[in-house]
Amino acid sequence: MSQSKVQSLCASQPASLSPVIFAVFLSVRRSKECKSMSQDQEEQEDELLALASIYDEEEFRRAESAQGGEIQICLELPQDFKIVLKGEKQTEHDVSFLPPLVLNFELPPDYPSTSSPEYTLSSKWLSRAQLSALCRRLDELWRETQGSVVLFSWIQFLKEDVLGFLCLASPLEVAGGPAKSLPERKRSDGDGKTAGGVPGDDGGGQDPPDPRAVVEVDPRANILPQLLDFDEAQRQRVFDGKVFCCGICFTEKLGSGCLLFKECAHVYCRACLSEYFQIQIRDGNVQCLNCPEPKCTSVATPSQVKLLVGEELFARYDRLLLQSSLDLMADVVYCPRQMCRTAVMVEPDTTMGICSSCQYAFCTLCKRGYHGLSHCRATADELRSLRDEYVSASDDGKKFLEQRYGKRVIQKAVEESFSREWLDQNCKGCPRCGTNIQKVDGCNKMTCTSCKQYFCWLCLSQLTRVNPYSHFNNPASPCYNQLFQGVDIDEDEFWSDEDD
């Protein structure tokens, strides 16, 4: 009964009946309101309990002090979905997960019979215009089902239809701030509608931003690292919950107890890889921490190595890895002082290095004190190796050695090296003065051409001038009866009449 009818009825009846009719009207109205409020509260409670049973605590959190909560909605991305960094060089990244849309809501007392939920919709990678379009779509879904609970319908729309609704496709273009994934230009499909723009834009200007649309990042920030970090964390979470068979011990284990090589996707348990990595690091093979699969070249990342070995071994791995990396750099040499050995950066087109630790200035070619424009000096042993290096070098290599040591030094090295080899093979040094003596013929009693010292050719012992042959006649001598040892004697020539 409407209020106007009650007032009319009260006016037409005696005054004594008016209060009674009015009391009946109030009673009926209060009964209807209580019944409606009770039904709304019951439907709200059922809806919140249903959401809590469908989604886990990370997806849905109910508010403690009010009828409301927060829902984090991860979009279902198609396979091989990519994001592109906008810039001079566009780089594509494969992603399986994007940061969730966050729906914060509160249910008014007359929901769902009369009012819709009060909410905000936020995102790290959508623009405010895109979020505003989503808010308008949520309002449309409420009007289509007014009088019924709508939160689950909202969640399904945000989870499954956002990409199609906003015309987002792979590759998704991101730059500074939220993803600029929609093309700037619009094309007409023939009936006045536009494609590639935010829904609701009729071409004459975009709708004003919805106050319920919240962008969670600074528009000037680069969101690509955040997107990639979230994708990596979600991939790891999915991996941890699966079961894998270790390729070494052939035991089935959860992914949380395994390690995945990212390049080849081979999986091994952490216990087996930990032992394998420890052996390799102790042996100094830090470049060989690769996938155990035969012929596989995937290498473990430093973060994976740190996860599987102790602090001491990881420090050794880090140090050896740095050293091996420096060794491969052409502009890095080490201080030649044994107590220093600090890595030194060398300026281009110069042969001088200055150690930042001990301040030692040295030649980067010969590792001796810096000698300016003078050629590097070489020791006798270095000359011998220099000869071999020069003879086997290419034309460019020979030019480099000539610039480093000088042509005269190279020529001298070649000549002296051959001379030294001949002397080592055909001569012996005098035990007194060291003069090189060549034995052409005769017995093993030799006379130095320089100091006239008698000595034994076999054992290089100095012989007395009084009786040098006693060395060969004494039974206690190591060269007893060996005066002519190793001498080829032609008896006819040796005992010729000329010699007599």
Looking at the structure, do residues 261 and 319 belong to the same domain, yes or no?
yes
Q: Which of 194, 228, 262 represents a domain boundary (last residue)? A: 228
- CATH classification of the domain holding 94: 3.10.110
Determine the pLDDT at residue 89.
66
Q: Which of 327, 343, 364 represents a domain boundary (last residue)? A: 327
Look-up of token digits 């701030």: 177
Q: Are 153 and 181 in contact (CB under 8 A)?
A: no
Would residue 443 show up in a list of annotated catalytic residues for this protein?
yes
The reply to whether 476 falls in a domain is yes
The segments of the chain whose pLDDT lies below 70 read: 1-37, 86-89, 175-206, 218-221, 325-330, 378-384, 403-406, 408-409, 412-421, 488-500
- For 231-241, write each residue's pLDDT tens digit: 888 888 888 88
The reply to whether 322 falls in a domain is yes
Looking at the structure, do residues 310 and 419 belong to the same domain, yes or no?
no
Determine the pLDDT at residue 200.
41
Instruction: Retrieve residue 364's tokens.
Output: 């980067």
Q: Are 44 and 114 in contact (CB under 8 A)?
A: no
Q: Which of 396, 429, 462 represents a domain boundary (last residue)? A: 429
The reply to whether 340 falls in a domain is no
Q: How far is 101 from 123, CA to CA, in rounded Å?
A: 5
**Which of these, 98, 97, 134, lies nearest to 119 by C-alpha position?**
134
Q: How far is 365 from 401, CA to CA, in rounded Å?
A: 10
Determine the pLDDT at residue 17.
43
The reply to whether 118 falls in a domain is yes
Determine the pLDDT at residue 207.
72
- For 310-326, write each residue's pLDDT tens digit: 888 888 888 887 777 66
- What is the SS3 string spanning the chain? CCHHHHHHHHHHCCCCCHHHHHHHHHHHHHHHHHHHHHHHHHHHHHHHHHHHHHCCCCCEEECCCCCEEEEEECCCCCCCCEEEECCCCCEEEECCCCCCEEEEEECCCCCCCCCCCEEEEEECCCCHHHHHHHHHHHHHHHHHCCCCCCHHHHHHHHHHCHHHHCCCCCCEEECECCCCCCCCCCEECCCCCEECCCCCCCCCCCCCCCCCEEECCCCCCECHHHHHHHHHHHHHHHHHCCEEECCCCCCEEEHHHEEECCCCCCEEEHHHHHHHHHHHHHCCCHHHCECCCCCCCCECCHHHHHHHCCHHHHHHHHHHHHHHHHHCCCCEEECCCCCCCCEEECCCCCCEEECCCCCCEEECCCCCECCCCCCCCCCHHHHHHHHHHHHHCCHHHHHHHHHHHCHHHHHHHHHHHHHHHHHHHHEEECCCCCCEEECCCCCCEEECCCCCCEEECCCCCECCCCCCCHHHHCCCCCCCCCCCCCCCCCHHHHCCCCCC
Looking at the structure, do residues 141 and 29 belong to the same domain, yes or no?
no
Determine the pLDDT at residue 1.
44
Looking at the structure, do residues 213 and 87 belong to the same domain, yes or no?
yes
Looking at the structure, do residues 421 and 487 belong to the same domain, yes or no?
no
Determine the pLDDT at residue 176.
52
Q: How far is CA 56 from CA 53, 73, 158, 230, 331, in A?
A: 7, 12, 17, 18, 55
Determine the pLDDT at residue 326.
65
Looking at the structure, do residues 451 and 480 belong to the same domain, yes or no?
yes
Determine the pLDDT at residue 102.
93
**Which of these, 112, 114, 120, lies nearest to 138 by C-alpha position?**
120
Q: How far is 391 from 388, CA to CA, in rounded Å?
A: 5
Determine the pLDDT at residue 92.
81
Determine the pLDDT at residue 127.
87
Q: How far is 361 from 353, CA to CA, in rounded Å?
A: 6
Q: How far is 108 from 41, CA to CA, in rounded Å?
A: 10
Q: Which of 340, 443, 448, 459 is catalytic?
A: 443
Number of structural domains found in the chain: 5
Q: Which residues contact 186 (CB under 8 A, 6 or more apart)?
A: 194, 195, 196, 197, 201, 203
Cis peptide before 475 (omega within 30 of 0): no
* Structural domain containing residue 466: 437-495
Question: Cβ–Cβ contacts within 10 Å for residue 154, how many?
Answer: 22
The reply to whether 32 falls in a domain is yes
Instruction: Retrieve residue 432's tokens.
Output: 């007194």
Looking at the structure, do residues 255 and 212 belong to the same domain, yes or no?
no
Looking at the structure, do residues 65 and 119 belong to the same domain, yes or no?
yes
Determine the pLDDT at residue 329.
62
Looking at the structure, do residues 423 and 444 belong to the same domain, yes or no?
no
Q: How far is CA 378 from CA 288, 372, 399, 405, 421, in A?
A: 37, 16, 17, 8, 17
Looking at the structure, do residues 321 and 390 belong to the same domain, yes or no?
no
Looking at the structure, do residues 425 and 444 belong to the same domain, yes or no?
no
The reply to whether 33 falls in a domain is yes
